Structure 1
Amino acid sequence: MTASPHRPIRSYVLRMGRLTDGQQRAFDEHWPRFGLSHSDGLLDYPAVFGRDAPRVLEIGFGMGQSLVAMAAAAPATDFIGIEVHRPGVGKLLHSMAEEGVDNIRIYCHDAVEVLRDCIPPASLDTIQIFFPDPWHKKRHHKRRLIQPAFAEQLVAYLKPGGVLHLATDWENYAGQMLEVLSATSGLENTAGAGNYAPKPESRPLTKFEQRGERLGHGVWDLLFRRVQ
């Protein structure tokens, strides 16, 4: 059988990982309330959250530390997190229970498929993607998530005036992100053409990022707004 020459965009690299006992308990106890299923189709926000509020979607939240911190700091905002790795989902659920955070709902599924099948167009105030896999070897750059076609798709899910917020600690990837978003129709750079944005106070520092700062590593934020 000949392999297809067209590789579909994926929002993740599949890594095997075993849930700790605490993560598994959190999954068992809290997934029925906070978990969302891709198979349920288009998301009904008021039905899921019990209200109509500003909405933030995070793609690839890792272990969920910054997502929990953001949700705790903005209880009047609804957050949707997408992460394919179950240990990260289990850790997020555990942290939500510890912190008493209840304004997050979670997909454990590929983000490309969730966007396509579950997120209504022009329904999000913010889409955030923090520290996606940089695929630092040049021959692997084509595997990076932030590519022209995907950026165009993201714009469609933002409300007019909604913001796409990216962050990376790889300067080469930051340059690619800036180039891609600057060329994407319907987006404008909130920091001005060709500029990176100051880190917003709303984005908490992760432990990984704090360690990087101590080592002198840079972090680049990009905030682009959907124009009418």
Structure 2
Amino acid sequence: MFRDRPVSFVRRSGRMSDGQERAWAELSDRYVLTVPRDVAATSVARGAFVDPVAVWGRDAPLVVEIGSGQGHAIVHAATTRPDVDFLAVEVFRAGLARTMRDVATAGATNVRMAEANAPEALEHLLPAGSVDELWLFFPDPWHKNKHTKRRLVQPDFPPLAARALRPGGVLRMATDWEDYALQMRAVLDDDDAFVRDFEGEWAPRYDGRVLTAFEQKGRRAGRDIRDLTYVRREG
């Protein structure tokens, strides 16, 4: 009721576990960005803005993962690439609580999190041209025909991604649903701000992506994993 387009998630009110509650209470001040809100709980107000140099205390490459889930991919990446800063964007607080617990256990200091709807974060929260890599791994496929309008990668997604990415920045995507992979490829191929960074039908698997529960679930179900990699054009 508060947005002019369907969101790519259903906001669930299920309670967090006791461990997740403790992690949120003890660690959220350290890891979670303060996001000015519009009306909806995970919205980002127009005019909201974060300064990456101020947030991380240094000028370093920035990787943003949309829909970070329980944080497996971003925690692994952050611990193996300490020279890079990472931002996890997720709407589900339980996933963020699990992520910050694992980040703290690993001793990583280069991760921050935003409890926010991804399109609004790309449009309002991140400075234009501030992101070096944007990751979208195994987003909700909304595989029923009546629900596909909720998919994140629609024609209005590339302009938001292009705004956040620096020229030459990389958009990495992966899904185990073939029809969504075809939709992603068609949408990005049709946008002048991006150019393919792969030959043939699909990109090779990104070796910086740790094997997550979502990917394993897709494999067990007999679905092929399809990667796509695009580069933000100069200018």
Give the TM-score taking structure 2 as reference length: 0.90
**Does 2:169 align with 1:172?**
no
Aligned to 1:153: 160
Q: Letter of the 2:31 partner, please give it.
A: F
User: Aligned residue pairs: how many?
Assistant: 224
Residue identity opposite 1:167 in structure 2: A
2:226 to 214, 220, 228: 220
Match of 2:54 among 37, 47, 51: 47
Shift in Å, 1:215: 4.4
Unaligned runs of 5+ in 2: 38-47
Instruction: Give the drift of 1:17.
Output: 2.3
Contact 2:123–2:164 under 8 Å retained in 1: no
Are residue 23 (structure 1) and residue 20 (structure 2) matched?
A: yes
Q: Equivalent residues in 2 for 1:43-192 (5 A)?
A: 43-192=50-199
Which one is further off, 33-42 or 162-171?
Answer: 33-42
1:201 alignment partner, one of 201, 204, 207: 207
TM-score, with length taken from structure 1: 0.92
SS in 2 for 1:148: coil
CA distance in 1, matches of 2:108, 2:169: 24
Give, in angstroms, the shift of residue 92 of structure 1: 0.5
| Structure 1 residue 46: Cα displacement | 1.2
- Residue 10 of structure 1 contacts residue 111 of structure 1 at CA under 8 Å; is this kept in 2? no
Inter-partner Cα distance in structure 2 for 1:139 and 1:38: 32
Kindly provide the amino acid, as one letter, of the partner of residue 225 in structure 2: V
Q: Which moved more, 1:170-179 or 1:17-26?
A: 17-26
Query: What is the distance in 1 between the residues matched to 2:130 and 2:218?
Result: 34
How much has 1:217 moved relative to structure 2? 2.2
Identity of aligned residues (%): 42
Cα pair 2:122 2:163 within 8 Å, conserved: no
